[in-house]
Every structure is written in structure tokens, then in C-alpha cells.
Chains A and B, each alone.
Chain A
Amino acid sequence: MKIIYNNVDFYYGNNHALKSVNLNIEENKITALIGPSGCGKSTFIRTLNRMYEHIPKTKITGEILLDNENILTDAYDLAELRKKVGMVFQKPNPFPKSIYDNVIYGPKKHGLKNKDALDSLVEKSLRKSALWNEVKDKLNKSALELSGGQQQRLCIARCLAVEPEVLLMDEPTSALDPQSTLKIEELFQTLKESYSLVIVTHSMQQAARVSDQTAFFLNGEIIETGTTDDIFTNPKDQRTNDYITGRFS
């Protein structure tokens, strides 16, 4: 198991947002998190790279093991954690810099200075995110000139450039048109060969299309987990069944 959640509870002030969550996330698989708005799935992936630390008055208990090491201890260095666990956001958020500078932002801040190494890293990352052919002639152009879908793939490349092992995606296609969505979903299939992916999605079709494992969240609890096929064809819990058949959203 790449990641193991053991009885994780999470609070925003008095709001109990995650309730004794247990979940195993497998290596080189795509795990989809589904559930209605406010069910805790976005909170869940923000615990995996400790992004909640930028929000005041949050509290977390339990343990999250990444390669059998508890990432919630102070001893686990935040920079190391986030190098290992990359994150892509709902709205594409490229920096207002050139395409090239966007990709090398992370590695440069982590101390990589060699020009040749940076150049090859840019090409490697952009190839992996299936953007290289579209931008190779305009690496010095502003990232903001790209289309929404290209921007999101650039954000994925920016993430890949720090050489993570796990990729977190918080509704990565919800701001994109169907065609860009398709491209990114295809990209997931190649990415999972080298990374473990955790994807939050509002679209059940997307979860069914792309993921290997699915976890269904409701009111901060995980109601059911299993292989995607099982969850969608043969849910064990009535509430899962209601949700995937669209009886509540």
C-alpha cells in the first residue's frame, strides 16, 4: 500500500469535517473520491499534503502512512512531503510567468541551478503531461496565453517537475470543456504507470471512466470503498446506491 489512513479525524474549528477515516490507496492506481458537495472529499486530499496547515484553527488526529511513515508528525518535513505528493487544483493556476519558468519554479526553489538539467527537466515534464508538442516553440511565452486545458496540463507538468510519487487532483477538469477533459483523462492513464493518483471528482461518469478504486464520502465519513467496478455495479450500501443512481446529489 502506498498510503494508509488510520482513524483520521479532521476539524475546522468545531466543524468535524472527517470522521475516523480509514482508507488504503494503492500504488500505480487511480483512486477516485466521489460524494456530494461538502462531504469532505476535498478536505481529505488536503490532509495528504498537509495543505490544511495554511488555514487557521484546524486540527487533525490519527495517522496517515506514506510508504509506512506517518506524515502527520512534526518530524516529517513539509517540503519533503509536498515534493513527494504533488497537487493539481480545480481551477488552472499557472503563475503569471513564462511556460518555461512555470515548469522550473519548483525545482529551482528546491535548489536546482544547472541550466542543462533545467532544460531537460522542462522537456521531460511537458512530454509527460502531453503538452510538449503544443508549446515547444513558445516556451518563453506567458503561460496565461494558453487555453484552459493547456494551462491545466501545464500545472500538471509543474507538479511532475519536482518528481513526486503521488498526484492529488481536486476536480481537475471541472473548469474545462469536454475536449480538454478528455485529453486530461487520457493523460491520467499514462501517468498512473509511474504515479499513484488520487482524484476528487463531481462527475460519476468520470470516476467510472478513469479510476481503478473508488471511495464514496458522505458527511465526512467514508461509506464504502472498493474497486470502481464493484462500487458502480454492485454497491453494498444503500446510500452509495442512491448516490450513484442520482437519487441525491
Chain B
Amino acid sequence: MNKKLIRRRRLKNALFQGVLISIIVFSIIMLLLLLYQVFKVGFSHLSLSFITSMPSRFADRAGIASALAGSIWTISLTILFAIPLGVGTALYLEEYANKQSWWTKILELNISNLAGVPAIVYGMLGLAVFVRFLNFQRSILSGALTLALLILPVIIVSSQEALKSVPSTLKEGSYALGVSKWQTITGVILPFSIPGILTGSILAVSRAMGEAAPLIMIGAAGYIGFMPKSPLDSFTVLPIQIFNWTSRPQAEFQDIAAAGIIVLLVLLLSMNAIAIVLRNKYQNRMD
């Protein structure tokens, strides 16, 4: 009886482990297939001139320069708007707001709801508020503000989690020395939570970099023949440029779309790498 039970438990254990392993193998194979496909088609089209040329109606002369510049412009401004605003909001909610009040509860509930709102809805909001009402036109500024709104809830929620992980004994230790709340935030709370805040923010910014829908909504162009020079210039970004190429009938454009995807991936991965380096630097300082 007992032996039978043990055997059944072991079998269950092995079975479950097997299922989990096959799930992860499946996702990795899918990812590899995707990468293989993209690289097979796109790699031969990658060249310095592809990076430095403007888009063109001839596939062999078309490049990605203006979209790459647009993406870098947009994402830099998005980071500039979203991270201070998001971390600030999280600090207010965690350290200053009265947690018991109905006002704070409604605020927190709505922020988590906003994280689930479809990107296209943010695009409509951006169109109405930034493009029309504030009259920023179809500019990089409008795009960055819209993307900042889009990722703000994610940054707030993940920063809140990071701030919650700061042990209360550390805060008490700081307060007990007569140190003010703000000094405790800069001296203990932020240094302790910065790795977590960075991790959440990186994920959010990466998402913003891959977005096309809200930017199409606010009127980012499909063809830009010049390099954007200021935040008020009209612009396009890599995902839109790629989308534009894939929707053309000529096969050559589909191929350079794959090359564009490689550029986007490299940009994403290098941003993540920078963030990971930053995170490790702070983590080491804390240990």
C-alpha cells in the first residue's frame, strides 16, 4: 500500500516536471524559429547603407535611418517623461498617501486598471489631447507623451512593488536618527529599491519601443525622408516602418522588413543590456 503510494507520487512528480520542461522547450523552439526566419531573410540586407539611408520606393536603396532616429528620439523622450513621473507617483502612494483613505484606494485600483487598457485607446487619447488640444501636431513630442502615458501604469505598479520590498526596520532605523522623510527616501528607500524599479521600467520602456498602434493613431508618418531634428518634427518609428514595408506587395520590401526587425531587436537588446548593467551596479553596491 505504502509502496504503491510512493510510486504514484514519484510518477506524478516526474509527469509534472516533464510537462513543464516540454512547455519551456516549446516556447524556446518557437522563439528560435522566429529568429531563424528573420535572420535568414533579413541578414543579407543588413549593411551600413541600410542603416544610414532614408526609406525609398526602390527596395535596394531603402534604408532605415529616419525610423531609427525617430525611435531613439521617441523612446528617449518617453523615458524622460515616464520614469520620473511614474517613480514619483509610486513614492507618493507608498510613502506619503494615507493607505486607508478611499481616495488612495480608488487611485491604486484605477492605476492597475489603466495597465490593462489597450494601446490603441491611448493613441486616441494622445490624438485628442496632445495632437489637437495642446496643438503639438503629429510630432515626436506627441508620440513620446502618448507612449509615456501608455507605460506609466506599469512603471507605477512595479515601482510600488519595489518600494514595498524595503524592510520597515531600515526605514525606522533612519527615522530614529532624526532623519526626515525625504532624506530617508533618498538615503535608504531609493537606493534599496532602485534595482527593482529599474527592472520594471526596462520592461515597460521595451514595450513602448515595440508599439506601433498608438503612434499610427496620433499620425506618425509611414514615410519620412529626413532626419528629425527637434521634438516638434514629424516622425516615424521602427515598428511603423517595418509594418509599412511588410504591407507592400513587392517581395524585396518584405526582405528589408526582416532586416528592419533585426535592427529593432538589436536596439531593444542593447537598451536592456544597459539597464541590466545599471541594475547590477546598484545591486552590488547594496550587497
Q: Which residues of A contact B (CB under 8 A)?
A: 49, 51, 54, 56, 78-83, 86-87, 89, 91, 93-97, 105-106, 109-110, 142, 144, 155, 158-159, 162
Q: Which residues of A contact B11 (CB under 8 A)?
A: none
A97 CA / B183 CA spacing, docked (Å):
16
Per a CB cutoff under 8 Å, which of B100, B173, B178, B179 touches A93?
B173
Chain A neighbourhood of B172, CB < 8 A:
51, 54, 89, 93
Contacts of B170 in A (CB 8 A): 93, 95-96
- Determine if B176 and A96 form an interchain contact, defined as CB atoms under 8 angstroms apart: no
Give Cα A95–Cα B192 distance, bound, in whole angstroms: 9
List which B168-196 residues lie within 8 A (CB) of chain A. 169-180, 183, 187-188, 191-192
Contacts A96-B192, A105-B187 given; indicate if A86 touches B100 (C-beta within 8 A). Answer: no
Size category of the B interface is 20 to 34
In contact, A93 and B188 (Cβ under 8 angstroms):
no
Indicate if the CB atoms of A49 and B176 lie closer than 8 Å: yes
In the assembled complex, the Cα of A80 lies from the Cα of B176 at a distance in Å of: 11
Are A105 and B174 neighbours in the complex by a CB distance under 8 Å? yes
Inter-chain contact B287/A162, CB cutoff 8 Å: no
How far is A2 from B171 in the complex, measured between Cα atoms in Å? 28
Q: How far is the CA of A49 from the CA of B176 in the complex (A)?
A: 7
| A56-B98, A56-B100, A142-B287 known; A78 vs B173 contact (CB < 8 Å) | no
- Could you tell me if A80 and B173 are in contact, using CB atoms closer than 8 angstroms? no
Question: Given the known A-B contacts A95-B188, A109-B187, A142-B287, are A155 and B173 also in contact in the complex, defined by CB atoms under 8 Å?
Answer: yes
- Which residue of chain A is the closest to B169 with respect to CB atoms? A93
Q: How far is the CA of A98 from the CA of B138 in the complex (A)?
A: 50
Do A79 and B173 touch (CB < 8 A)? no
Please name all residues of chain A whose beta carbon is closer than 8 Å to the beta carbon of B175 when the two chains form the complex. 51, 54, 82
Apart from A82-B178, A89-B172, A93-B169, list 12 A-B contacts with CB within 8 A.
A49-B176, A51-B176, A81-B178, A82-B177, A87-B176, A89-B173, A93-B167, A95-B170, A95-B187, A105-B174, A106-B178, A109-B183
Is residue B21 contacting chain A, with contact meaning CB distance below 8 A?
Answer: no
**Chain B residue with Cβ nearest A168:** B176
- Nearest B residue to A57 via CB reads B100
Verify B177–A158 contact, CB threshold 8 A: yes
CA distance A61 to B152 in the complex (A): 44
Q: Bound complex: CA of A82 vs CA of B287, how far in Å?
A: 28
In the complex, which residues of chain A have a beta carbon less than 8 angstroms from the beta carbon of B19?
none
B106, CB-defined interface residue at 8 Å:
no
* CB proximity of B157 to chain A, nearest CB, Å: 23
Which residues from B are CB-within-8-Å of A97? 191, 285-286
The answer for the CA separation of A94 and B173 in the assembled complex, in Å, is 8
B197: min CB distance to chain A, Å = 16
Q: A93-B167, A96-B287 are in contact. Are A109 and B176 (CB under 8 A)?
A: no
Write out the residue numbers on chain B whose beta carbons fall within 8 Å of the beta carbon of A87. 176
Question: 4 shortest A-B CB distances, which residue pairs?
Answer: A82-B178, A106-B177, A87-B176, A93-B169
For B286, the closest partner residue in chain A by CB is A96
Query: How far apart are the CA atoms of A158 and B188 in the complex, in Å?
Result: 14
* Docked-complex contact B98 and A79, CB < 8 angstroms: no
Closest to A110 in B: B178
User: In whole Å, how far is A62's beta carbon from the nearest beta carbon of chain B?
Assistant: 22
Residues of B234-287 whose CB lies within 8 A of A: 285-287
Residues of A within 8 A of B192 (CB): 96
Kindly state the separation between the CA atoms of A82 and B174 in the bound complex, as whole angstroms. 10
* Contact residues in B for A78 (Cβ distance below 8 Å): 178
A105 to B183, CA, bound (A): 10
Task: State A49–B169 Cα separation when bound (angstroms).
Answer: 16
Interface residues of B in 87-135 (CB under 8 A from A): 98-100
Q: How far is the CA of A54 from the CA of B171 in the complex (A)?
A: 10
Please report the C-alpha to C-alpha distance between residue A79 and residue B179 in the assembled complex, in whole angstroms. 6
Q: Are the CB atoms of B188 and A144 closer together than 8 Å?
A: no
Flag if A95 contacts B178 (CB, 8 Å). no
A110 to B183, CA, bound (A): 10
Contacts of A96 in B (CB 8 A): 170, 191-192, 286-287
Chain B: CB-nearest residue to A80: B178
Q: In the complex the two chains form, what is the Cα distance from A200 to B178 in whole Å?
A: 21
Is A91 in contact with B188, judged by CB distance below 8 angstroms? no
Contact indicator A105/B177 (Cβ below 8 Å): yes
Q: A56-B98, A93-B167, A96-B192 are in contact. Are A86 and B173 (CB under 8 A)?
A: no
B9 CB to closest chain A CB (Å) equals 39
**Chain A positions within 8 Å of B171 at CB level:** 54
Given contacts A54-B175, A96-B192, A109-B187, contact A79 B180 (CB under 8 A): yes
Residues in B neighbouring A109, C-beta threshold 8 A: 177, 179-180, 183, 187
